Structure 1
Amino acid sequence: MSKSNSFRRLGRKVQQGFTLVELAIVLAVIGLIIGAVAIAKDVQRNAEYQKAVNKFVYQWKMSYDQYYQRTGGVLGDCQQAPTYMVDGSETTINNGNACSRAGSMAVPGIPASFAGRGSKICAGQGYAAGAVGDGDAALATLNLRDLMTRAGVRMPPGRGEGHEDRFLYIDSNGNPAELQVCFQFNASGTASGAGNVMVVRGLTPDLARFMDQVIDGKPDSREGRFRIQGRPAHANGGANQANAPGTQWEANNTLGTSLGGGAGATAMTNNDARPGVVNNPNNSAGGTTDGRTLDEDQVILLTAHWIMEQ
């Protein structure tokens, strides 16, 4: 064998491997791809959250305002003798019907004089009472969809015909979750806001924070126009001053703090994956008593109140 042929074979063997520069380039490309996938997931989630705000809750607020403009009263109120309370037509005053005002001259016509106020108007129960946060009001007899349809008010598409009050989204662990919209009147002194409110049920803490920032500019669960349901007001003294900087949305994907307990308490519940079993009232789902925090578990769900202008 000639020396030239031998050198040619050696040259070919050397060229079969990768140089350090080539390996560095490959690793850099892989890193960019992994980073792009992670960023794409965040972008997709934010886009879905934005859709939940713009195409669902904001559209429901517009429908609520349109109902007020068309009927001259808030949702479920008496048109001939308005109480300015959601579901006012199902209340009584001095043992007389609110709409007829029988015996109402003996008392002032303020919310405190009306009995039976505060029921929420929904298009069906949806989540069981207390299943996605404490403090759920009783369900009114009036139906949200029927009231809107009779007034000729166009509703958001929601999940489709007959389910306009619901919105399906994916939580940050990849599990489907559902938003539900209702409306109710909150009495004076209610920590989640007095007056007529939109009740948004089935929020993950992540979506609640996002929605809060869009609506009133800061993710604060006890201040502003968008607040968490079922939490006590801040104390007037001590560390938590009234009207001081508020409280963050009190949960993450797997653990709820101060949920169903006193200040600073941590409440955990078992994650029940059986079909048809509704999430636990105080913590909804997620963390367990043994500290389980798996990223495939259902993210806990909350309820918020958005204070309406009328």
Structure 2
Amino acid sequence: MKQMQSFRKLGRKVQQGFTLVELAIVLAVIGLIIGAVAIAKDVQRNAEYQKAINKFAYQWKMSYDQYYQRTGVVVGDCQQAPTYMIDGSETSINSGGACSRAGSMSVPGIPASFTDRGRKICAGQGYAADTVGQGDKALAALNLRELMTRAGVRMPPGRGEGHEDRFLYIDSNGNPAELQVCFQFNDAGVASGAGNVMVIRGLTPDLARYMDQVIDGKPDSREGRFRIQGRPAQTASTEANAPGTQWEANNTEGVAINVTGNSTQMNTSDKRQAVVNTSGNAGGTATGRTFDEDQVILLTAHWIMEQ
């Protein structure tokens, strides 16, 4: 009889469930796990951003500088008659080739006197003008990889042999995105920076802001050495020395962007742009979409070179 009573007491104890203290501990542990997962995602994304700039963008900057040190001219320029412009060897002056300077003594040897200037030098096939938005230059005949290899300059590893100009990363929504590097000369008055620039396409707004902060310490898309491509120049007198402009859009959508078929329409008053990826679809969603699975809008930036 005593044994049966003890079994009943034991059964009642087993059926009592968790105490409030135990539930609080379990909830606290769950909260810590969720927080750790969220922090881990941010840490992983920051690590990818650091890799994108330190092992890709900065390495291409070093390759560009090494090319200048070894050849005495910028990428694609004439060694015997430098124009100090990227792809200068494919330009003409006074109806003569830039490298021979035939008939050039009658005009000043400044960029404004050269025609066919400003074409971008990419590796491999590159991408045509107006592919990723306003400000795209025509593609030069010269090949970036061949020029670097000929000068004995080691390029960053990129995506692998033959694809040193590319870098693959994951955007904040888990979609793959690719950076591509080219070089070009910008005329005076171009809002993204005059002179020789490195063109980096395929940047999410978050990555663009991060790179801008690292490069010149000021995440401003109009000012400094790292600027967005396609920004309209300031023309009004009230805009002189006015505050710059932040990197537009966010990590889920492109503001004022409407996607129609395979083309991207820009709001002319907003001047915000999306990139067209290899499949022909716009890399960004229409205004109003904020789905977690959406492709993050991709921007193109110009990094102003010293040489």
Deviations 1:23-45 (A, max 9, x none): 00000000000000000000000
Partners of 1:148 and 1:268 in 2: CA distance? 30
| 2:248 corresponds to 1:242 | no
Q: Does 1:196 align with 2:193?
A: no
8 Å CA contact 1:222–1:233 kept in 2: the answer is no
1:218-233 to structure 2, matched below 5 A, reads 218-233=218-233
Aligned twin of 1:294: 291
In the alignment, is residue 166 of structure 1 matched against residue 156 of structure 2?
Answer: no
Question: Residue 198 of structure 1 aligns to a residue in which SS?
Answer: strand
State the shift of 1:218 in Å.
1.6
2:41 paired with 1:41: yes
Q: What number of residue pairs does the alignment pair up?
A: 298
Distance 1:127 1:30, change over 3 A: farther
Compared CA separation, residues 127 and 171, structure 1 to 2 (3 A): farther
Gaps of 5+ in 1: none
Residues 234 and 13 of structure 1: is their aligned pair in 2 closer, same or farther, counting only changes over 3 Å? farther
Instruction: After TM superposition, list the pairs within 5 Å mapping 1:30-109 onto structure 2.
Output: 30-109=30-109
Q: Taking every aligned residue pair, what percent have the same amino acid on both sides?
A: 78
- For the structure 1 residues 101 and 76, does the alpha-carbon distance in structure 2 shift closer, same or farther, using more than 3 Å as the test? same
Say which SS state the counterpart of residue 181 (structure 2) adopts: strand
Task: Quote the offset at 1:265 in angstroms.
Answer: 7.1
Distance change >3 Å, CA 210–CA 261, structure 1 → 2:
same
Cα deviation digits, residues 118-160 of structure 1 (max 9, x gap): 0000013445543433211000000000000000000000000
Give the AA of the match of 2:229.
Q
Change (3 A) 1:115 1:254: same
Q: Report the equivalent of 2:261.
A: none
C-alpha distance after superposition, 1:271-291 (max 9, x if no partner): x9xx963233xxx32225xx3
Contact 2:128 2:138 in 1 (8 A): no
The answer for unaligned runs of 5 or more in structure 2 is 258-265
| Offset at residue 195 of structure 1 (A) | 0.2
Q: Is the 8 A contact 1:192 1:305 kept in 2?
A: yes
Q: Which AA in structure 2 matches 1:124?
A: G
Distance in 1 of aligned mates of 2:100 and 2:108: 15
Amino acid at match of 2:255: T
So what's the TM-score if we normalise by structure 2? Answer: 0.91
2:279 maps to what in 1? Answer: 277
- CA-to-aligned-CA distance 1:223-275 (integer Å, 9 cap, x gap): 1000000110234334xx23322111111134333662233477899xx9xx9
